[in-house]
Structure 1
């Protein structure tokens, strides 16, 4: 249910940003720099069969011609090119993708599989390649004067039942919070002046901001709380497939160092969320 709700939000928010160029900043360094020392042995990973889905824009989805495109699709291709190995990419329905990986139908799953104890029993995970922080959004006129310490006299919108609502209750209990059924409704309330700020998932906020550039903007710093917001996006491999995992981690470090990872991020996320 959580994934379906997120898909509906992403489908709505991503429609405008794909056609609208904007400026963004490079990615922070997520991957472990020590992975650069784990050079894949020649021939140890002759190819990587990537599995993904076709329903998760802008990460992996089909364009109007039916071609599989997206940030994850491009990243998988760049990883294989960096390691200089053959690469295939096959789309599976979301409810079958993890089982397909467990059944050796592929070598790696790049589709946003959550890093949970249950999944950890069957899969190992690469370094994080895209963290998903929480961020505050305010109207544009309020960005320069925004301060978390001044929120006690403000009203902050959040999505009801979200990890970001939990964050506000845990870390900012004295701030007045107003809950909404969806991120879009909460952000719309901010745009319409019904609340003073919004706190939520930075990536989804970025999509909305790209369609509302004159209204609002990120304010303050990103909040990375893996225990609340998750580990971010990683690539899953069958448990024990260290050769493929090390090759992927090595490639992620190289792609960050040579600028390719930043280039992909700026292409697919024109309003940066860091």
Structure 2
């Protein structure tokens, strides 16, 4: 009888734990700011951007409170694994290396990397002789960083930055010859200003961008995937996307 009581108690505890794990009444979501137009602050300090609005729509659909956490890019995955937040929704490309540490949602957008320079610079970024000795700016730890490191090391000097804003300042100050960034970021931060231009063809990288979560939080990943599918099918995703982009980035 005692064994039956213990077994029943364990079963009830496991069932209660399963229900509790699936509630997710609050989801803490991390963003690297600024990374316009995906995440940035308005003049009043309010966090906004494509991914911020998409995250808020997702939380509303899941009937969960969204806590928006600002986290520098270098500390994203360590912070997630240390439970400082529950998800990363900050233009994190899905890569095999990252997938060994985190669980990704289905990809929710994919944009290419773009090459940008000052108006006076004329370079063929595919010509390694022309690129020899040039200084290329990338954001540290991104797929653009990986691409330049793997394909241009020994030819160019790679300068890595924590934020896209710092990279733009160095390009403007002629401390960089070229930057390779997520195309919408270059479009927003450089092409919207005088004195800069796109050079070369955009480069499609990786498998797209996904929401990163801890491997143990499979229930959260399942809910996030269902919600993203719903937001795409009911038009919410498209309405948010059209506020920030003139082209389709949806996957």
Give me the TM-score of the superposition, normalised by structure 2.
0.56
Q: Could you list the per-position Cα deviations for residues 12-50 of structure 1 after superposition, in whole angstroms to 9, with x for gaps in the alignment? A: xxxxxxxxxxxxxxxxxxxxxxxxxxxxxxxx9555522
Match of 1:125 among 104, 112, 126: 104
- Compared with structure 1, are the counterparts of its residues 97 and 243 closer, same or farther at alpha carbon in structure 2 (3 Å cutoff)? same
Higher Rg of the two aligned structures: 2
Q: Could you say what secondary structure the match of 1:79 adopts?
A: helix
Find the aligned partners of 1:160 and 1:110 in 2 and give their Cα distance.
Answer: 20
Matched residue, 1:158:
136
CA distance in structure 2 between the aligned counterparts of 1:142 and 1:148, rounded to whole angstroms: 11
Corresponding residue for residue 203 of structure 2: 222
| Deviation sequence 1:226-247 (CA, Å, 0-9, x none) | 4xxxx76432334333332122
* Alignment match, 1:171: 151
Q: Is the alpha carbon distance of 1:169 and 1:125 closer, same or farther for their aligned partners in structure 2, counting shifts above 3 Å?
A: closer
8 A Cα contact 1:158 1:177, kept in partner: yes
RMSD of equivalent CA atoms: 5.0
Task: Give me the whole-angstrom Cα distance separating, in 1, the residues matched to 2:76 and 2:146.
Answer: 30
Query: Secondary structure, in 3 states, of the residue corresponding to 2:187?
Result: helix
The structure-2 alpha-carbon separation of the partners of 1:246 and 1:112, relative to structure 1 and needing over 3 Å to count, comes to: same
Question: Is residue 2:219 matched to residue 1:250?
Answer: no
* C-alpha displacement of 1:253: 3.4
The answer (yes or no) to whether the contact 1:79–1:251 under 8 Å persists in 2 is yes
Confirm or deny: 8 A CA contact 2:140 2:160 kept in the other structure: no
Aligned residues: 215
Cα 1:251/1:50, change in 2 over 3 Å: same
Unaligned segments of structure 1, at least 5 residues: 1-43
Q: Does the CA contact (< 8 Å) of 1:135 and 1:220 recur in 2?
A: yes
Per the alignment, in what secondary structure is the counterpart of residue 128 of structure 1?
A: coil
Provide TM-score, normalisation by structure 1: 0.53
